[in-house]
Structures are given as structure tokens and as C-alpha cells.
């Protein structure tokens, strides 16, 4: 997933080297592999900072096309992300690590239960940033103690292209859906990186094993792939439900279905998942409360209840209002008239983001006449974007009208 904050930890080991532990580079690499596995990492690979120049070029093209949408943090200092040596001139080796978070059921099953919300697999347990970063720090400290050289650790939030680096380190390849696919773990690896000032022997890069398959392209509900290996994040449900701060564009509302936080479709459909195994880290395992929460319950969350339900979960990052916006889109798509009362109640919410989504949700669940009877409420609405939602919902051709308003 994505994140904009600083994710750098500088760790430096003692300069004193114990001759007893002075290891050859290949012995050091083998020892690191053992330590990593003991710490709970499922995959480890080694590469060099010059390994991803091609990816850097594609990244700059992606920014040029505007594919990053409002993720300004992704576009900030692009030269640092495109080339690890610009981020840190002292880097000599990059150690890429993966943690398997394979689900114990089919993540697509929940999509048919439309009165329940689908939270993507990665967000049903504790926040992986916290879980993985702690381990990366322990491993990096271990390395720094042995070598005396400086190290830095990154997971997700820093200017690091984790997927191309993981491919260069042999952990997997970037599939046509742009995520890293592993022959051992399928689509379900979280990634993290250690940059080290020590020279270490690099691994061979993994080759592309997508072949003629295009299952991930075909299943995408919002046609977010303009071409294989290229994602337009602005169309991706993960971006729309997590990164996007404003109203969800009308064009995508129906395709979102009951996905209330992220999306797993392109990952789940990959044939390489036949080799996947359920993750072994309990902290990342799905909490029962987050596997298929009822939309009716979620719609009633106030700020305190939202924070309590999503303690330590990545979902907490988007805040209650954005989350309820997503829940309302799912309510509008549920076809469940018993949820209309929840949408109606949220017409009076303090947040304009929530009120606007409530207007749309209600318009999807009650008859045109019943909705038109509420028209007088539109006049009292102080917020311009919510007024637009009312106008779109009351027009004879709501989606057409909404497209004109957005255009």
C-alpha cells in the first residue's frame, strides 16, 4: 500500500570489530539469511543500488502521465526514488525482505455478500508497517554490529522503489498488475528494505513468468491498467478508497461494489497463488471482526468507536469520515433496502464528505418518488460539493448529470 510519511531509521553499529565474527562476504550473506528467517521474514534477496535504472525511467514516465493522482508525496523528489544512490550516497548493497501475508480463504468470496464490507487482506490484521519495521531494525542493527558499517531501513513510506528492487534481488517479478509475484508465495508478500554501506554479493534478478496470462488485467473492476505493467492509480479502487481524500468520482462508484478499504481482485486472481500458503505471522492474520463486517454496524461508527475497532490497523490511517464515505458507497451498491435508514441518518452527519456520500447511497436504495420527496433538504445544505450531489441525484439521469458536474 501507500504512505507519505518519512520512513527512515538510521542505525549505526559499533566501529569495533570482533575478529571472531569477521566473516567473508558470502558467509555474512548466509548468516543474514539465517537471521532474517529467525526473525520471521519469509523471503530475502540481495541487490546493488544500480540495479533498477530501467524502473527509474518508467517511474518518471508514470509521474509525467499524472498516474499518481493526488499522491504528491510520491512525486516529491522523484530522483531519490528513481535511484537509491541519490537517496543515500553511501549505499553499497540493498537487502530486500518479504513477509508472507497469504489469506486463509478466498478474498473474492466476500464480494458476493453485499450487505457486508470487503476490507482488503493486507488491512485485516495489524499494520504491517509497524510489524515489519521493528524486525527490519533488529536485523539492520545485527548487521551494523557485525560490520561496523552504516545501515538504513525502509518499509513503504520512504522514497524507495521496493518492487523493482525486490525483483532485482530475485524475490519475485513485477507482474502485469505491477505488484511483485513470488513463485513461492504468489501475490502475498509485504516488502521492506535495508540499505547497507557494506558490499555484499548480489543475487540474480527474477525473470518475468506472466507469459500470455492477462487474468489480472481482465478482472480489474475499474479498468485501471492502460497497458500491461502500467497502472493508472487514479482508477484503482485501492487509491480511490484509501488515498483519495474527496468524494469518490461518480464514474467508479458502482464498480467499487462493497470494497470499503483497498482491493485484492488483481492479486487474488493470479494463477501463481496456487503455490501460496497462509501467512504464519499472527499479528498480520485477519481479525474475525474485520473479515466481513456488516455495513449497518460500520455506518454507526463515531470517531471513538472507529478508532477502537481499528486499533493498530492500517484502516485507522484514513480516519472515520473517509471510511464512512466508503461504507456509504457500499451501502448504495448493496441493493439492501434495509440499509436505507443508515444512509438517511447520515444525511445529517457533521462531515460534508459523509453527507455527500449519504445522498448518493440513499438515491440508489429508495424509489425516485421517495427520493424526490426529500428534495427540500437540498436547499438547506451549506456545502457546495454536497449541493452538487443533491443536484446530480435529483436529476432525471443522475450519472449523466454527475459526469457533467465533474467535468
Write out the catalytic residue numbers: 156
Residue placing its CB nearer to ligand B12 in the complex, 180 or 393? 180
| Three-state secondary-structure class, residue 180 | strand
Instruction: Note whether 269 binds ligand B12 by CB under 6 A.
Output: no
Instruction: Note whether 210 binds ligand B12 by CB under 6 A.
Output: no
Residue placing its CB nearer to ligand SF4 in the complex, 195 or 225? 225
Instruction: Note whether 123 binds ligand SF4 by CB under 6 A.
Output: no
| Contact string (CB under 6 A) for ligand B12, positions 38-57, x = contact | -----------------x--
Instruction: Note whether 191 binds ligand B12 by CB under 6 A.
Output: yes
Instruction: Note whether 309 binds ligand SF4 by CB under 6 A.
Output: no
Residue placing its CB nearer to ligand B12 in the complex, 56 or 398? 56
Instruction: Note whether 164 binds ligand B12 by CB under 6 A.
Output: yes
Instruction: Note whether 206 binds ligand SF4 by CB under 6 A.
Output: no
162 binds, among ligand SF4, ligand B12, none (CB under 5 to 8 A by kind): ligand B12
Task: Please choose, out of 143-151, 173-181, 296-304, 319-327, the segment that lies near ligand B12 by the rule CB under 6 A.
Answer: 173-181
Whether the CB-CB separation of 197 and 94 falls below 8 Å is answered with no
Instruction: Note whether 156 binds ligand B12 by CB under 6 A.
Output: yes
* Residue whose grid cell is 549505499: 91
In the window 239-278, what residues touch ligand SF4 (CB under 6 A)? 263, 265-266, 269-272
Instruction: Note whether 349 binds ligand B12 by CB under 6 A.
Output: no
Rg (Cα) of the chain, in Å, rounded? Answer: 23
Instruction: Note whether 236 binds ligand SF4 by CB under 6 A.
Output: yes
Instruction: Note whether 68 binds ligand SF4 by CB under 6 A.
Output: no
Nearest to 392 by CA among 374, 405, 407, 377: 405
| CA 251 – CA 51 distance, rounded (Å) | 39
User: What residues contact residue 216 under an 8 Å CB cut-off, 6+ apart?
Assistant: 175, 176, 177, 225, 265, 266, 267, 269, 270
Please count the other Cβ atoms lying within 10 Å of the Cβ belonging to residue 40.
17
| CA 342 – CA 331 distance, rounded (Å) | 9
Phi, psi of 346 (to 5 degrees): -80, -5
| CA 177 – CA 143 distance, rounded (Å) | 34
Nearest to 290 by CA among 270, 265, 316, 266: 316
Whether the CB-CB separation of 262 and 122 falls below 8 Å is answered with yes
Instruction: Note whether 243 binds ligand B12 by CB under 6 A.
Output: yes
163: region left, alpha or beta (phi > 0 left; psi from -120 to 50 alpha): alpha
To the nearest whole angstrom, how small is the minimum distance from the Cβ of residue 165 to ligand SF4? 18
163 binds, among ligand B12, ligand SF4, none (CB under 5 to 8 A by kind): ligand B12
Task: Choose which of 68, 114, 177, 355 interacts with ligand SF4 (CB under 6 A).
Answer: 177
- 352-365 vs 384-394: helix crossing angle, rounded to 10: 10
| CA 225 – CA 235 distance, rounded (Å) | 8
Instruction: Note whether 152 binds ligand B12 by CB under 6 A.
Output: no
Instruction: Note whether 313 binds ligand B12 by CB under 6 A.
Output: no
Residue nearest to ligand SF4 (CB): 175
DSSP state of 348: T
**What residues make contact with ligand SF4 under the rule CB under 6 A?**
175-177, 181, 210, 213-216, 220-222, 224, 231, 236-238, 263, 265-266, 269-272
Amino acid at each position: 500500500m501507500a504512505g507519505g510519511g518519512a520512513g527512515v531509521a538510521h542505525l549505526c553499529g559499533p566501529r569495533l570489530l570482533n575478529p571472531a565474527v569477521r566473516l567473508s562476504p558470502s558467509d555474512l550473506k548466509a548468516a543474514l539469511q539465517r537471521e532474517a528467517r529467525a526473525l520471521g521474514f519469509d523471503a530475502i534477496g540481495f541487490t546493488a543500488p544500480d540495479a533498477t535504472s530501467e524502473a527509474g525511467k518508467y517511474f518518471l514516465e508514470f509521474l509525467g502521465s499524472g498516474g499518481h493522482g493526488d499522491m504528491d508525496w510520491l512525486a516529491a523528489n522523484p530522483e531519490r526514488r528513481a535511484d537509491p544512490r541519490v537517496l543515500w550516497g553511501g549505499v553499497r548493497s540493498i537487502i530486500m525482505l518479504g513477509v508472507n501475508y497469504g489469506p486463509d480463504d478466498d478474498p473474492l468470496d466476500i464480494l458476493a455478500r453485499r450487505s457486508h464490507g470487503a476490507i482488503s487482506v493486507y488491512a485485516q490484521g495489524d499494520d504491517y508497517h509497524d510489524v515489519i519495521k521493528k524486525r527490519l531494525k533488529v536485523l539492520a542493527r545485527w548487521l551494523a554490529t557485525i560490520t561496523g558499517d552504516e545501515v538504513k531501513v525502509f518499509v513503504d513510506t520512504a522514497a524507495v522503489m521496493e518492487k523493482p528492487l525486490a525483483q532485482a534481488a530475485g524475490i519475485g517479478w513485477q507482474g502485469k498488475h505491477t505488484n511483485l509475484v513470488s513463485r513461492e508465495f504468489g501475490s502475498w508478500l509485504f516488502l521492506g528494505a535495508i540499505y547497507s554501506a557494506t558490499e555484499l554479493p548480489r543475487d540474480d534478478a527474477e525473470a518475468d513468468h506472466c507469459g500470455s496470462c492477462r487474468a489480472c488485467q481482465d478482472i480489474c473492476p475499474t479498468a485501471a491498467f492502460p497497458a500491461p505493467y502500467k497502472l493508472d492509480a487514479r482508477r484503482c479502487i485501492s487509491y480511490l478508497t484509501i488515498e483519495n481524500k474527496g468524494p469518490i468520482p461518480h464514474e467508479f462508484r458502482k464498480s467499487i461494489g462493497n470494497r470499503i478499504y483497498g482491493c485484492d481482485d488483481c492479486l487474488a486472481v493470479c494463477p501463481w497463488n496456487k503455490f501460496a500458503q497462509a501467512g504464519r505471522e499472527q499479528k498480520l492474520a485477519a481479525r474475525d471482526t474485520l473479515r466481513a463486517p456488516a455495513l449497518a454496524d460500520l455506518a454507526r461508527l463515531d470517531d471513538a468507536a472507529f478508532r477502537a475497532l481499528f486499533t493498530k490497523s492500517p484502516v485507522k490511517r484514513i480516519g472515520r469520515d473517509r471510511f464512512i464515505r466508503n461504507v456509504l458507497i457500499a451501502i448504495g451498491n448493496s441493493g439492501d433496502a434495509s440499509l436505507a435508514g443508515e444512509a438517511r441518518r447520515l444525511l445529517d452527519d457533521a462531515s460534508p464528505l459523509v453527507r455527500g456520500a449519504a445522498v448518493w447511497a440513499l438515491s440508489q436504495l429508495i424509489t425516485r418518488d421517495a427520493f424526490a420527496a426529500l428534495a427540500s433538504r437540498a436547499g438547506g445544505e451549506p456545502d457546495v460539493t454536497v449541493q452538487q450531489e443533491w443536484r446530480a441525484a435529483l436529476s432525471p439521469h443522475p450519472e449523466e448529470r454527475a459526469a457533467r458536474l465533474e467535468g
